[in-house]
Structure 1
């Protein structure tokens, strides 16, 4: 079982997933805000619909 040694990853070489996601969201601008709004409205509509059906 010989595994190849991996070099230590420093934060400067590999940015975290959160930083990459934030950078991507800033780059896309309004598109990500639109998707977030649609997702929020859809989830709210689902919860309201389920509460109406199960009352």
Structure 2
């Protein structure tokens, strides 16, 4: 006969429940995984954004000289 109190049974149930639950991936981890999967598109968008920002800054500096 096992000595099983209601509290120890609850504790075991909670431990089993915690081990069954898989933590969700963070937003950053999902974004990085997506970026690696779609490498060409991500690089194209990165360079377009970089050139657009540089063009904007040069344009603003030219207009306010």
So what's the TM-score if we normalise by structure 2?
A: 0.65
Q: Alignment length, in residue pairs?
A: 45
* Structure 2 gaps, min length 5: 1-17
- In the alignment, what sits opposite 2:45? 35
Larger proportion of helix:
2
TM-score (norm 1): 0.76
After TM superposition, the runs of 4+ consecutive aligned structure 1 residues lying more than 2 A away are: none
Which blocks of at least 5 consecutive residues in structure 1 are unaligned?
A: 1-7
Instruction: Name which one, 1 or 2, has greater alpha-carbon Rg.
Output: 2
Provide the aligned C-alpha RMSD in A: 1.4
